């Protein structure tokens, strides 16, 4: 079923297919909306709130990654108000855990870092949380550093939806939420992990990395993970 609809993004009329999300339509038409927890090829969960947009007639802001388009929908993607909210969202992500870019494997290739820079986050206006967090080094090839995790759940969805192993989940509530492997077992002891490394590639930050890389050295092949879904859909 491919019902065609017309939507407006920042004033421009765009043809879309009903059921597509605002973010998908925007991306397909080279309109930029920032996103962090969204990754092509995975289900969308609306966790990070960076893709919030203004929809005409809606009383509140809506996440572009989970909101489907409908006929006549008019979206504003980058008003000063949205920019200021996105900046706040990024600052809150930065204060929640310990982001020390100068000693991070992903510095220079990190989606959180580049979003912060792009949004003019020169500093944060909130007190840092400085939690004491662990680093799981039990897996022979990979590391999980909770200090850098933004709980985007891209690893959770990659492992469950693409690899089919479902090693990861998020346990706890609010600021106490933590990524856990196989019901709190260390990653190295998770029997369902196939060591495929897809979660590592999907992770937008330095939270998941391959062992053996130094500061700024860990680059990720996210497109490869996304492409797997496209290829399977094509089958």
To 10 degrees, what angle do helices 80-96 and 111-118 make?
A: 140
CB-wise, 67 or 106, nearer to ligand SF4?
A: 106
What are the distances in angstroms from CA 7 to CA 31, 53, 124, 159, 189?
13, 14, 36, 34, 49
The correct pick among 4, 13, 57, 122 for binding another protein (CB under 8 A) is 122
Which window, 36-44, 70-78, 120-128, 164-172, contacts another protein (CB under 8 A)? 120-128
CB-wise, 78 or 147, nearer to ligand SF4?
A: 147
The correct pick among 207, 209, 218, 225 for binding ligand SF4 (CB under 6 A) is 207
CB-wise, 63 or 206, nearer to ligand FES?
A: 63
Alpha carbon 180 to chain centroid distance?
17
The correct pick among 45, 61, 88, 101 for binding ligand SF4 (CB under 6 A) is 101
Structure tokens at 226: 């996304």
From ligand FES, ligand SF4, another protein, none, interface partner of 216 (C-beta below 5 to 8 A by class):
another protein
Structure tokens at 114: 């580049």
User: Is position 115 an interface residue for ligand SF4 (rule: CB under 6 A)?
Assistant: no
Alpha carbon 202 to chain centroid distance?
9
* Greatest alpha-carbon span in the chain: 53
From another protein, ligand FES, ligand SF4, none, interface partner of 93 (C-beta below 5 to 8 A by class):
none
Q: In 3D, which of 124, 150, 130 has the Cα closest to residue 208?
A: 150
**Sheet harboring 4-9: ordered strands across?**
12-17, 4-9, 74-76, 52-55, 62-63
What are the distances in angstroms from CA 50 to CA 30, 38, 92, 144, 206?
18, 10, 11, 24, 19
User: Is position 150 an interface residue for ligand SF4 (rule: CB under 6 A)?
Assistant: yes
From ligand SF4, another protein, ligand FES, none, interface partner of 148 (C-beta below 5 to 8 A by class):
ligand SF4
CB-wise, 112 or 180, nearer to ligand FES?
A: 112
CA dihedral of 44, 50, 56, 57, whole degrees rounded to 10: 80
CB-wise, 119 or 154, nearer to ligand SF4?
A: 154
Instruction: Count CA atoms closer than 13 A to 184's CA, side-chain side.
Output: 3
User: Is position 188 an interface residue for ligand SF4 (rule: CB under 6 A)?
Assistant: no
Q: Which residues bind another protein (CB under 8 A)?
A: 94, 98-104, 107-108, 113, 116-117, 120-124, 127-128, 130-132, 216
Q: Which residues bind ligand SF4 (CB under 6 A)?
A: 99-101, 104, 106-107, 110, 112-113, 148-155, 158-159, 163, 165, 167, 179, 193-199, 202-208
């Amino acid at each position: 079923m491919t019902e065609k609809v017309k939507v407006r993004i920042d004033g421009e009329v765009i043809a879309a297919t009903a059921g597509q999300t605002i973010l998908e339509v925007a991306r397909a038409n080279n309109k930029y909306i920032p996103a962090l927890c969204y990754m092509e090829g995975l289900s969308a969960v609306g966790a990070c709130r960076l893709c919030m947009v203004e929809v005409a007639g809606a009383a509140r802001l809506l996440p572009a990654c989970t909101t489907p388009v409908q006929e006549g929908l008019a979206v504003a993607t980058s008003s000063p108000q949205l920019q200021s909210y996105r900046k706040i969202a990024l600052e809150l992500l930065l204060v929640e855990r310990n982001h020390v870019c100068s000693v991070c494997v992903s510095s220079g290739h990190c989606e959180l870092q580049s979003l912060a820079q792009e949004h003019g986050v020169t500093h944060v206006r909130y007190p840092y949380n400085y939690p004491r967090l662990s680093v799981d080094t039990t897996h022979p090839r990979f590391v999980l550093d909770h200090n850098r995790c933004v709980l985007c759940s891209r690893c959770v969805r990659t492992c469950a939806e693409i690899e089919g192993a479902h090693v990861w989940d998020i346990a706890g509530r609010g600021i106490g939420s933590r990524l856990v492997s196989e019901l709190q077992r260390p990653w190295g002891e998770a029997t369902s992990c196939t060591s495929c490394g897809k979660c590592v590639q999907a992770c937008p930050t330095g939270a998941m990395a391959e062992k053996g890389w130094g500061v700024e050295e860990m680059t990720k092949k996210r497109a490869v993970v996304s492409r797997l879904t496209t290829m399977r859909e094509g089958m």
